Each structure stands twice: as C-alpha cells, then as structure tokens.
Structure 1
Amino acid sequence: MNIVIGRFSMSYLRLSSSPAQSPVLYPSAVSFFMHCRRKRLFSTFHCSASTKTNKEKVIVISGPTGAGKSRLALELAKKLNGEIISADSVQVYQGLDVGSAKPSISERQEVPHHLVDILHPAEDYSAGNFYDDGRQATKDILSRGRVPIVTGGTGLYLRWFIYGKPDVPKATPEISLEVQSELANFERNYDWDAAVELVTKAGDPTAQSLPANDWYRLRRKLEIIKSTGLPPSAFPVPYDSFKGQTDSRSTDLSIDISTEGILDEKHKDLDYEFICFFLSTSRFDLYRSIDLRCEDMISGDNGILSEARWLLDLGLQPNSNSATRAIGYRQAMEYLLSCENQGGRSSTRDFYAFLSEFQKASRNFAKRQLTWFRNEPIYHWIDASRPLTEVLDFIYDAYHDQTGKLTVPRSLSMEKDMLDRREIAQMKTYRTKRGVYMSQEDCSDILDWISNNQRRKTELIAN
C-alpha cells in the first residue's frame, strides 16, 4: 500500500547518481575533505567519515510543523520495538491536545510515549527540564532493551538533548523566593519593560532580547545573576563549544571544504550514537498543509478554541507563560478575549482575521524551524512526500547498519535550501487558500459557539 507521510505526494525528476567509486586512501585530511566536496557536487549522498561505535543508539526525528514526523515515529516504533520521547514544548501540557497535534490515547496505548501530559498549563517547562527528563527516559527505555525514538520540532530541546545543557548552578529556594518577590509587582501590573530594565541593570543586557512577557526566562536570568554574580552568558553552552571547535578547525585549513569529517570526529564525544533525521517537503506544499491543518484544528466542538477557552477559565492570560505563548493558543485566547469585549459576539471578518493570524504564525514557525535545522549538521534531511514504507525501510536499515556510514539515497533526500526556480517563484506569490471556512455560512457554527459560550459564562456568574 502506498502510504504518504505528509498531506501531499509529489515526484521529482532527479539526476542519476554518480558511479560507485572504489575505496581510496587519502594522504591528508585536506585531500579527504576535498574529495567530500567533489562528491557533493554530483550526489545528494552525505560524505561521511563515520566509524562504527559501541555506543547505544538513539533515533531522533524532527521536522517542521505538519511534516508528518509523529506518524513516522509511531510506525518506526512498531517496527523497531521502540518507545517515543516527545520533544514538543506544548505536548507536555495536559489539556492542550488539538493545538499540539498530541498523539491519541489509542496511539499511546499502542506505543509507549514519554513527556506527554506531564504538566498543568500554569507550570513552565524549559530546555533544561527537557534535557533532564528526556535523558532519564532514554536510560529507562534502553534498560528495557527497547529503542528510544525522540521526535518533535522544538529545536532547543533537541540541541540540548543531544549535546548537553549548560552547567549553570541551580538557585537555592531562598534566592528563587527573593527573585519571585522582586518581580511579582512588575508581573502583576503587566510592566514587562520595567522588569527587563531591572534585570539588565543587574548585569544581563540580553534580557532585552527576550520575547515579551517571558517571565519564566526573565526570572531564571535574575536567579543566575543572584546565585553566581554572573550573567547566563558566562556559562558555556556545549553545542556552542562543539560548533566553535568545528568552525575553527575548518577555518584553519584555509580552504572551502565540507566540515562533515570534522563533525563526525566530534560526534564521537557525544553520550550516545544519535541517528538524526529531519523530515520536510517543498516549502509550497508545507505551507498549504499547514493552512489546512490550522482550519482542521479550529473545527469541531472540541477544537483549539475550546482548549483556549479552558485556559482563560483557569485564569491564564495569552502570552503569559509557556503554554499560553504556544502558537494557536495565544491567537485563540486573544480572539476570545476580543469577543468578550464585544459582548460575546464575533463578526465573520473578525473570525477570518484570527484564522489568518493563526495560519501566518504557524507558517512563520515552520520557516524558523527550517532555518534552525539547516544549521544543525547532525541531521539527514528526508523528503516527506515519499511513501512511508520507503522511509521506514531506510531508517530501519540505518539503525541496524554496522559500518557507521549513513548515506541518504537520492530518492529520499531533501535539499536544505530552495534551489528550484519554480518553487522560489511559487513562494513569492504564495497566498492562503481556505479549504473549510470558505464562506460566511461555513463560519456560522463557530460564531454561534462563541455566542453560546459567552451566554453560559454570564449565567454562571449571575448564579
């Protein structure tokens, strides 16, 4: 059966692969890297100096929102006797099911999932938390003789999970309480700018670059300053050190060469043998899929608007913590608050404005994901439009490979950058096309739901 990972299935004309080359011994690192570079001109295969390791293997599957990574991870877990660790900053929250495309109860019963539904939406979660929880889950899965499959699109979570987290001292309860008290009035009065100025004067000017109302990270910055007398930037990030050594070594060669050989040497320093894949498709098809996915999330009685209503009923405000900053929930909460200010009413125009903003934010997030992972050399890019069975077989074989050399066949490879002129031209003229809410009549159920919801809330308050 020809199952497709993403919403769209496409075929591409590709150049035939270069002839197989016989093994050659290279007299120097420079000649080896030059060989790698020449191969890249004629082949989409990754030239690698990988060697076999005895480390335990961990599979990582990432990709932009809507690419189909969750489905791939689920089927791969069945094939490999694996368990899934979610690397999604929204799936950790209870009740946020639709907007995070959380695996269903039946899927979680079929394959064990970790780090899903572990927190109340009022709590905060960080990359450091994920590192601790994800690494512990990995150890537990391996101890059971099963395969850890980490999947999600939160780039920082995955970067720290693979390379390690900064060794920043944890604040004492006393310091945490002091910081909480110091920033409480600012947060209560929604005075974000004044709070940022306070932390900047305390010694961390990077506080000015934080997203507005990211109180968790602002508190953490002040905790570090009060605990150590130093800003967070004073503590080295393992990935930065890894990347810096790679960049300096390639620069020292004074030649434009591929750094994959250097990277592979550095990968030997990692705790596990990470086998990493990035699943994507053409930018145009990806955006179309995202637009339709947003509409699907809104439709129905238990869609993202219902979940956003629940967050507001908990007393949370949009953009006030990790859960309410999540794409889709922030826009939905702001839309519902706007409807409340209009007496529980919404026009079709207002609804379309919300839908458009939701879709735009989702596409922009996907674009940021593509940019982020383009700079992550450990990932092998896979074309999401290819049949699922082909991708599964390739990753299955890659996991069991004993040579230590992983190459992606042309039929499955995905270019990191838009190189096709036709695709570039398409993206310049891209316009959203609605597939569900195409007329005023299509929006009537949503508008009625908003009105009825407001009426019930008013009745509850009156009683």
Structure 2
Amino acid sequence: MVNSSVCSLRTRCLRFPHLPETPLFPPHRFSITGRSRRTPVTASAVSETYRKKETKQKVIVISGPTGAGKSRLALELAKRLNGEIVSADSVQVYQGLDVGSAKPSPNDRKEVKHHLLDILHPSKDYSVGQFFEDARQATRCILDNGRVPMVVGGTGLYLRWFIYGKPDVPKSSPGVKSEVYSELAELQKNEDWDAAVQLVVDAGDAEAPTLAVNDWYRLRRSLEIIKSSGSPPSAFRVPYDSFKEQGDSSDTNGFESSGVQISGDSMEDSELSDLPYDFICFFLSSQRLDLYKTIDQRCEDMLLERDGILSEARWLLKLGLHPNSNSATRAIGYRQAMEYLLRCQQHGEQSSAEEFYNFLSEFQKETRNFAKRQLTWFRNEHIYHWLDASKPQNAIIEFMDHAYHDRSGNLIVPEHLRMSRGISNRQEAAQLKSYRTKNRHFMKDEDCSHILEWVNQKD
C-alpha cells in the first residue's frame, strides 16, 4: 500500500501512530458574483471586507458528484498552480479500497502530492470531526511550505465542516467512552439495531432514529455526548448554520428559471470574511442524464478486472467485516459487492449470471442515487460556483486559475461554463424519469463468465 508523504519536517505536521509517514492537506476561499439579491452595504464595510480578504491565504475547494471528473481536473490544476491535493473522500482514507473509491493512481501521486489517502485500516471508523482536524492541519502545512492547498472530494459534510468549522461538542472522557461501549456492545453483537436506537432515544436523543441503519459509531457518539453534557448532539449549534441563515435562500425542489444564475456569492462577503481562509470553491457537474450514463459505465469498469471492486470486497470479508457494519463497509459499491459475495457463499460459492446482473444493477442504481443526493446537498451550499464538466477541461482550468489569481472580488462565471443547479426544464425531467441503464461490457450471460469463474473459485 502506498502512503502519501506528510508535509516538510520543518513544520509540526500530522502523524498517525499506526502507520509510517502519512499525508495532510490545505484549505482556500473564493468570490464570484452573479445576479443574486444583496442587501446594501456601506463603502467602509466593503473596504474592510476586502482588506480582510487580501490578508487571507487562499485555499481551493473542488467538489462534485461521483463520476463528474473532479479528480482528473484537480490533478491538472495542481500542476499549474504548484498545488497539493487533500482528499475529502470518506472512502479514500482507507487502505486497500482503491478501485471502488477511484483512488488516484501511484503515478498521479508521484506527479502531485496527495494527502489523507490510505491513512486508516478498513476495520476502523473515521469521523467528520477527525477529518476536520486532519485536513485543517494538512492545509496549514501545505501553506507553510509555500504551495497551494486544493481540497478535493464529494463528501459534503466533510467539506462543510472544513470550510465553516465544527460544532463545539464536548469530548468524551475515557470513562464515558467505556460506559457507552459496554451499554451498546451486547446489542451490537446481537445486531439489535432497533433496541439500541431506542436506548439512545430514551437517553435523550429524539433524532437517533434518523441515523443510517447500523451506524454504530454515530449512535455511540450520540450517547457519549448526552452522558458528557446532558444534551443531545442537536443542541450544539453548527457554525455553518450561522452563515446559512444570513445567506439568500434558493429553490431546491422546483425548476430553475433559465435567466437566473444562483451564484457563489449569495452569502455576503462580509459574512465570509469571518472564515479562516479565502476559500475558492467550485462544484463540477454535468447534465444529469450524461452523469448517470457515466456512472453506469464506471460501475461496469470497476468489475472488469480480476483485482476490481469484487476482489476488494472479498478481502474485506476475509478480514471478518460484515457489510454495512462500519464506515468502510457501508460505502456504496463495497456494501453491494460484499452482500453479493455472501449470497454466493450461501449457495456453495456459486453464482448465476442472473444473480450477477442483479448485483450490477443494484450497484449502478445506488451510485446514481448517491450522486443525486450529492447534487441536492451542494445545491444549498452557496459558497460554490457551479461549472459544467462537459466543457473542455482546458477552459475550466483556465477559469479556475483566473479565479485563484483574481483580486477584484467580483469574478463572474462565464455563461459558457455555468452549470445549472437543478433540472432546467420538463423535458429533462421526463428523460430522467424514463432513464434506463445501457451497459457497454455486460450485456449477455457470456459477458460475465469470467466473473462467475472467479466467484466460483474456492480459496
């Protein structure tokens, strides 16, 4: 397993005791305007805002739905700007989960230094709070070394905390941690999720039923917070909420009118001046129909080779892990692959073509649904400037380069690079509703024969 290097030794950087030298990253800021409603501000306020902005160091943030091509674009931009990439991907942190997370190749990591890759064994959980600490520290190291930090990934909550800060939730003492573990251990062993949720509800967290099923880490954390503070997690205000309340609201469900561009500056610059860095944030996407086609093909590609996602899922099972039992095994693709292989085991290490195609279809559908959730999440993140991933990469990189070096504070996304934040018309909505997967590689029973042979091999 290749580990990313950490920042230079002259700075006090992040270290992981269970691994050799590991990586870090940086953050940045932005400013792009469009036709958003703005409240009047005085000349002195504007002057003070841009005085603060000029003194801040810049951090680039690039996000987008899975399959949008953000990693490849970020790599090329990093080469141009003398940058280093911090991964904001909740799966890429895990060792051995390379194919399913579309982890940068060893060659890519030689060309541009990457941080927060391969820092954790897949049996461990990784929290948004830990990401905040690791990514902020990595960012500081990158800036101290005179390079440009570029935080790249599609995990929305990671990026939200990274930009705006994390809630001031009390840390749990070792005694509280031990007490909570003891209370939930037997229920987890018996896989009695409903009873465990009810225990936490009775303790004071009415929102515990909204957690993802079998997310034992967050359930334990909720109980720890209650025992440490007497209040549920929802009682602790998230810094992002303060910024959101002051920003303009946008329509997240209906169609966008063709003449309206919801811009990254719908929050006041005076509010963003309170952030620790000058964050320059981009969201890269393409038309939903094209994105879905790309996702379906990408899922196929992950299954073509013998060392693809199925091989990685089999490795997870050999480690004694179960699907949906922790962060790594909940990841889309890995959970479906592990469940498919377990079904094969129950049938004497045998699989039919029909069973394989059912797995592939589920894998593709869940990945498309994940992309849809990402689009919904980032639609309300007004700090991002949406760019059309279908446009020539050089044009997008040129604009990002310009945005990074812009000093006017009034940078406008060109019309030809703008991406709509929602479904733009009823025709597109109808096409999405009638969308059906058309595979390129797996179409007939014989196309998956090599997969079935691999599955049927007894180790």
1:306 maps to what in 2?
311
Q: Give the whole-Å Cα distance in 2 for the aligned partners of 1:261 and 1:73.
A: 25
Q: Give the whole-Å Cα distance in 2 for the aligned partners of 1:417 and 1:258.
A: 10
1:160 maps to what in 2?
161
Offset at 1:425?
A: 2.5
Give ranges in structure 2 of 5+ residues lacking alignment: 1-36, 42-47, 250-260
> What amino acid is aligned across from residue 310 of structure 1 in structure 2?
W
Q: Percent identity?
A: 66
Offset at 1:276?
A: 0.3
Going from structure 1 to structure 2, the CA distance change for 1:394 and 1:312 (only over 3 Å counts) comes to: same
2:139 paired with 1:134: no
Normalising by structure 1, report the TM-score. 0.85
1:349 maps to what in 2?
354
Given that residues 266 and 383 in structure 2 are in contact (C-alpha distance below 8 angstroms), is that contact kept between their aligned partners in structure 1?
no
1:412 maps to what in 2?
417
More helix by share: 1
2:243 paired with 1:238: no
Task: Specify which of 307, 318, 321 is matched with residue 316 of structure 1.
Answer: 321
Query: Secondary structure of 2:67's partner?
Result: coil
Task: Specify which of 280, 291, 296 is matched with residue 275 of structure 1.
Answer: 280
- Deviates most, 130-139 or 234-243: 234-243
Given that residues 49 and 273 in structure 2 are in contact (C-alpha distance below 8 angstroms), is that contact kept between their aligned partners in structure 1?
no
Q: Give the whole-Å Cα distance in 2 for the aligned partners of 1:392 and 1:300.
A: 32
2:186 paired with 1:189: no
Going from structure 1 to structure 2, the CA distance change for 1:351 and 1:171 (only over 3 Å counts) comes to: same
Residues 69-116 of structure 1: CA deviation (Å, up to 9, x unaligned): 000110010000000000000000000000000001111111110000
1:361 maps to what in 2?
366
- Deviates most, 77-86 or 50-59: 50-59
Residues 188-237 of structure 1: CA deviation (Å, up to 9, x unaligned): 00000000010110010111111110000000001101111111111110
Given that residues 267 and 383 in structure 2 are in contact (C-alpha distance below 8 angstroms), is that contact kept between their aligned partners in structure 1?
no
Query: Secondary structure of 2:86's partner?
Result: strand
2:78 maps to what in 1?
77
> What amino acid is aligned across from residue 318 of structure 2 in structure 1?
D
Q: Give the whole-Å Cα distance in 2 for the aligned partners of 1:30 and 1:354.
A: 52
> What amino acid is aligned across from residue 354 of structure 1 in structure 2?
F
2:292 paired with 1:287: yes
1:460 maps to what in 2?
none
2:92 paired with 1:91: yes
Residues 273-317 of structure 1: CA deviation (Å, up to 9, x unaligned): 000000000000000000000000111110000000000000000
Offset at 1:243?
A: 1.1
1:124 maps to what in 2?
125
Given that residues 53 and 404 in structure 1 are in contact (C-alpha distance below 8 angstroms), is that contact kept between their aligned partners in structure 2?
no
Going from structure 1 to structure 2, the CA distance change for 1:294 and 1:377 (only over 3 Å counts) comes to: same
2:70 paired with 1:63: no
1:450 maps to what in 2?
455
Residues 13-33 of structure 1: CA deviation (Å, up to 9, x unaligned): xxxxxxxxxxxxxxx96578x
Offset at 1:247?
A: 5.8
Residues 255-288 of structure 1: CA deviation (Å, up to 9, x unaligned): xx98946432211110000000000000000000
Query: Secondary structure of 1:315's partner?
Result: coil
Work out which of the two has the higher radius of gyration on C-alpha atoms and give 1 or 2: 1
Q: Give the whole-Å Cα distance in 1 for the aligned partners of 2:301 and 2:268.
A: 41
Q: Give the whole-Å Cα distance in 2 for the aligned partners of 1:78 and 1:105.
A: 16
Going from structure 1 to structure 2, the CA distance change for 1:165 and 1:370 (only over 3 Å counts) comes to: same
Offset at 1:423?
A: 2.1
> What amino acid is aligned across from residue 178 of structure 1 in structure 2?
E
1:400 maps to what in 2?
405
Given that residues 263 and 377 in structure 1 are in contact (C-alpha distance below 8 angstroms), is that contact kept between their aligned partners in structure 2?
no
Query: Secondary structure of 1:411's partner?
Result: helix
Offset at 1:405?
A: 1.7
Query: Secondary structure of 1:60's partner?
Result: strand
Given that residues 92 and 117 in structure 1 are in contact (C-alpha distance below 8 angstroms), is that contact kept between their aligned partners in structure 2?
yes
Given that residues 87 and 114 in structure 2 are in contact (C-alpha distance below 8 angstroms), is that contact kept between their aligned partners in structure 1?
yes
* Cα RMSD after superposing both structures: 1.9
Given that residues 296 and 439 in structure 2 are in contact (C-alpha distance below 8 angstroms), is that contact kept between their aligned partners in structure 1?
yes
Query: Secondary structure of 1:205's partner?
Result: coil
Aligned length: 404
Going from structure 1 to structure 2, the CA distance change for 1:146 and 1:438 (only over 3 Å counts) comes to: same
> What amino acid is aligned across from residue 132 of structure 1 in structure 2?
E
Give ranges in structure 1 of 5+ residues lacking alignment: 1-27, 33-48, 249-256, 457-463
1:332 maps to what in 2?
337
Q: Give the whole-Å Cα distance in 2 for the aligned partners of 1:449 and 1:237.
A: 48
Task: Specify which of 382, 407, 410 is matched with residue 377 of structure 1.
Answer: 382
Going from structure 1 to structure 2, the CA distance change for 1:229 and 1:336 (only over 3 Å counts) comes to: same
Query: Secondary structure of 1:270's partner?
Result: coil
Offset at 1:402?
A: 1.0
Q: Give the whole-Å Cα distance in 2 for the aligned partners of 1:395 and 1:258.
A: 18
Normalising by structure 2, report the TM-score. 0.85
Q: Give the whole-Å Cα distance in 2 for the aligned partners of 1:271 and 1:31.
A: 24
